C-alpha cells in the first residue's frame, strides 16, 4: 500500500514538473526577436554617430570616407570596423520590456545612437549601450522599439570615438620600390640620389637571368647602399602624423627647413618646417591638404640620414 502511495506521489510530481517546463518553454518563445534588415556595406553612403549630444558624420565619396563638414579623411581601418558591425548586426535575445535603460547604458546620457544611410534612405537605426556580462554581446535598442535586446558581438568601442580619433593620421603613402630619385633640399642646398640597376658582370646562362643589383648614386657618382636608402624610405612610405594643426593654413607656412621630393610613378613631396612653438615639427605633404605635426624623432632620422650619406661619400667611416 505504501509503495503504491509513493508511486502516485512520484507520478504526480513528474506531471507537475512536466507542466512547469512546458509552460516555461512556451513563455520563452512567446515573443519573436526582431530580424534586422540586410545592410549592404558597399551601398552605405553616410553614417551618423551621436553621443554626449555631439554628432559625428562621415560620408563616402568614391572609395574614401570623409568626416564632415571639415572634409577630413577618415581612418579606413576604423571605417571598415563600423561597416562590419552594420552588416552583421543580429539580435540574439530579449533582455527587458520594463523601459528602464540606465542599467544598460541605453539612456540618453550614456547611449550611442547610430544611423546609416543609402543616399537619403535610412537603412539602419539603433542605440547601443554597454557590453553585456558575456563580453560577447552588446545591449541595444532599435528605432521604434522600447525593448532592450542583446546583439551579437562586443562593438561599443567601435562607435565610442571622436572625430579626432576617427581622422586618418596617414599623410604620405607610396610603394617604396617604385622610387627612383630622392632629393632633399635644405637652406638652398640639395642632396640628390638616383637609383640605378647594375647587371652581373660575371658569366651566367640565359635561363638563370640574374637579378640586377640595386645601388643609389649621387650626382657625383658616389654609391650609397640600397639597404641604407631603404631604411630611410620605409618610414616615409607609410608616414603617420602625431596630430593636425587645425588652426594653421598651409598657405601660411613658408621657407621649409627640409623639402623631400621622391620620384616614382608620381612625385611625392614632404615639406617640414622649423617651429619654436612645438617640440614636433609642422609639415605638409603632397597627399594631405592639412598641416600636421611630425615628431622630433622623424626629423632626427632625416638629419641622421643626410649626415651618414655625406660621411659615406666622403669616405669617412662610422
| 306: enclosing H helix or E strand | helix 296-313
Q: Residue 91 sits in which domain range?
A: 46-166
74, 120 in Cβ contact below 8 A?
no
Q: Are residues 185 and 309 in the same domain?
A: yes
Show the cell assigned to 135.
563580453
In a domain, 299, yes or no: yes
251, 291 in Cβ contact below 8 A?
no
Looking at residue 216, which CATH number applies to its domain?
Answer: 2.60.40
User: What is the structure's pLDDT at 27?
Assistant: 45
Q: Are residues 131 and 241 in the same domain?
A: no
In a domain, 254, yes or no: yes
Q: Are residues 135 and 189 in the same domain?
A: no
Q: Is 106 helix (H, G, I), strand (E, B) or coil?
A: coil
Q: What is the pLDDT along the chain (318 residues), one digit of tens a residue?
A: 556 666 666 666 666 555 555 444 444 445 689 988 899 999 999 999 999 989 999 999 999 999 999 999 999 999 999 999 999 999 999 999 999 999 999 999 999 999 999 999 999 999 999 999 999 999 999 999 999 999 999 999 999 999 999 999 999 999 999 999 999 998 888 999 999 988 655 555 555 666 778 899 988 888 888 988 999 999 999 999 989 999 999 999 999 999 999 999 999 999 999 876 667 899 999 999 899 998 888 888 888 998 888 877 665 445
User: What is the structure's pLDDT at 220?
Assistant: 85
Q: Are residues 156 and 189 in the same domain?
A: no
Q: Are residues 144 and 254 in the same domain?
A: no
In a domain, 302, yes or no: yes
User: What is the structure's pLDDT at 177?
Assistant: 93
In a domain, 247, yes or no: yes
Domains identified in the chain, total number:
2
Q: Are residues 133 and 181 in the same domain?
A: no
Q: Are residues 154 and 179 in the same domain?
A: no
Q: Are residues 175 and 158 in the same domain?
A: no
Show the cell assigned to 8.
502516485
Residue from 128, 93, 92 nearest 107 by CA? 128
User: What is the structure's pLDDT at 20?
Assistant: 52
If phi over 0 gives left and psi between -120 and 50 gives alpha, with beta otherwise, what is residue 81?
alpha
Eight-class DSSP state of 30: S
Q: Are residues 278 and 185 in the same domain?
A: yes
Q: Are residues 109 and 53 in the same domain?
A: yes
In a domain, 160, yes or no: yes
52, 99, 102, 139 from 109: Cα distances, Å: 6, 15, 9, 15
Query: Environment class of residue 126 by beta-carbon count within 10 Å: exposed (0-12), middle (13-18) or buried (19+)?
Result: buried
Q: Are residues 191 and 143 in the same domain?
A: no
Q: How far apart are CA 98 and CA 283, in angstroms?
A: 55
Q: How many residues does the chain have?
A: 318
pTM of the model: 0.81
User: What is the structure's pLDDT at 8?
Assistant: 63
Q: Which long-range contacts (CB under 8 A, 24 or more apart) does 61-70 make?
A: 67/163, 67/166, 67/167, 70/163, 70/246
Query: What phi, psi does 241 have (nearest 5°)?
Result: -90, 165
In a domain, 151, yes or no: yes
Eight-class DSSP state of 261: E
Q: Are residues 162 and 179 in the same domain?
A: no
In a domain, 27, yes or no: no
In a domain, 123, yes or no: yes
154, 131 in Cβ contact below 8 A?
yes
Amino acid at each position: 500500500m505504501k509503495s503504491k502511495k509513493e508511486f502516485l506521489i512520484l507520478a504526480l510530481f513528474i506531471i507537475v514538473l512536466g507542466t512547469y517546463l512546458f509552460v516555461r518553454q512556451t513563455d520563452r518563445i512567446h515573443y519573436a526577436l526582431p530580424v534586422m534588415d540586410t545592410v549592404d556595406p558597399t551601398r552605405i553612403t553616410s553614417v551618423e554617430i551621436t553621443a554626449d549630444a555631439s554628432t559625428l558624420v562621415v560620408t563616402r565619396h568614391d572609395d574614401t570616407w570623409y568626416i564632415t563638414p571639415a572634409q577630413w579623411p577618415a581612418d579606413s581601418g576604423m571605417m571598415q570596423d563600423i561597416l562590419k558591425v552594420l552588416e552583421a548586426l543580429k539580435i540574439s535575445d530579449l533582455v527587458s520590456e520594463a523601459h528602464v535603460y540606465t542599467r544598460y547604458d541605453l539612456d540618453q546620457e550614456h547611449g550611442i545612437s547610430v544611423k546609416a544611410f543609402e543616399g537619403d534612405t535610412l537603412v539602419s537605426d539603433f542605440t547601443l549601450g554597454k557590453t553585456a556580462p558575456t563580453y560577447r554581446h552588446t545591449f541595444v535598442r532599435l528605432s521604434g522599439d522600447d525593448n532592450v535586446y542583446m546583439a551579437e558581438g562586443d562593438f561599443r568601442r567601435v562607435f565610442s570615438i571622436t572625430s579626432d580619433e576617427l581622422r586618418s593620421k596617414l599623410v604620405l603613402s607610396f610603394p617604396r620600390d617604385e622610387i627612383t630619385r630622392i632629393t632633399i633640399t635644405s637652406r638652398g642646398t640639395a642632396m640628390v640620389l638616383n637609383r640605378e640597376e647594375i647587371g652581373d658582370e660575371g658569366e651566367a646562362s640565359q635561363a638563370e637571368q640574374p637579378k640586377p643589383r640595386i645601388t643609389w648614386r649621387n650626382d657625383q657618382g658616389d654609391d650609397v647602399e640600397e639597404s641604407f636608402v631603404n631604411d630611410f624610405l620605409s618610414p616615409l612610405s607609410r608616414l603617420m602624423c602625431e596630430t593636425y594643426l587645425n588652426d594653421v593654413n598651409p598657405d601660411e607656412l613658408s621657407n621649409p627647413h627640409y623639402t623631400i621630393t621622391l620620384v616614382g610613378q608620381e612625385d611625392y613631396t614632404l615639406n617640414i618646417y622649423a617651429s619654436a612653438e612645438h617640440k614636433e615639427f609642422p609639415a605638409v605633404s603632397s597627399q594631405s591638404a592639412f598641416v600636421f605635426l611630425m615628431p622630433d624623432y622623424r626629423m632626427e632620422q632625416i638629419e641622421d640620414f643626410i649626415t651618414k650619406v655625406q660621411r659615406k661619400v666622403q669616405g669617412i667611416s662610422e
